[in-house]
């Protein structure tokens, strides 16, 4: 009985200590790093950060698979690629639409 209680307490303390397990904060920060230079018209900086966002997605895809449905993280991947294309074409309207789509997907995934 005491062993089970101790195990439960250890699990709870471990889970609460791993508050950033899903990577939500890093994804949101990375996304805002893409958005800021685009509003300033700095396309090269925006492209650099969009590529970093894609790298972060690839590195942390397993986390997204744990918290979201398959269609959500696949949509996210597609939207990041469309964002990169919009930045390459220097299409601010399309880039803003993709940023809004990515934010929406994040909201769906992390609202659970």
Helix/strand number for the chain, H first, E second: 6, 0
Q: How far is CA 97 from the centre of its chain?
A: 16
Distance (Å) of CA 19 to CA 15, 38, 64: 7, 31, 15
**Could you read off the pLDDT of 32-87 as tens digits, one per residue?**
899 999 889 999 999 999 999 999 989 888 887 777 677 888 999 999 999 999 99
Residue with the bigger pLDDT between 23 and 104: it is 104
Question: Global pTM?
Answer: 0.77
CB contact at 8 A, 74 and 41: no
């Amino acid at each position: 009985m005491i062993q089970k209680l101790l195990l439960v307490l250890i699990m709870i303390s471990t889970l609460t200590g791993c508050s950033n397990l899903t990577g939500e904060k890093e994804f949101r920060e990375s996304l805002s790093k893409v958005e800021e230079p685009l509003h300033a018209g700095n396309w090269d900086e925006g492209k650099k950060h969009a590529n970093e966002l894609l790298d972060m997605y690839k590195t942390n895809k397993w986390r997204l698979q744990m918290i979201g449905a398959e269609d959500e993280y696949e949509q996210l991947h597609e939207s990041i690629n469309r964002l990169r294309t919009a930045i390459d074409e220097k299409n601010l309207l399309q880039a803003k639409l993709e940023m809004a789509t990515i934010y929406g997907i994040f909201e769906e995934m992390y609202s659970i």
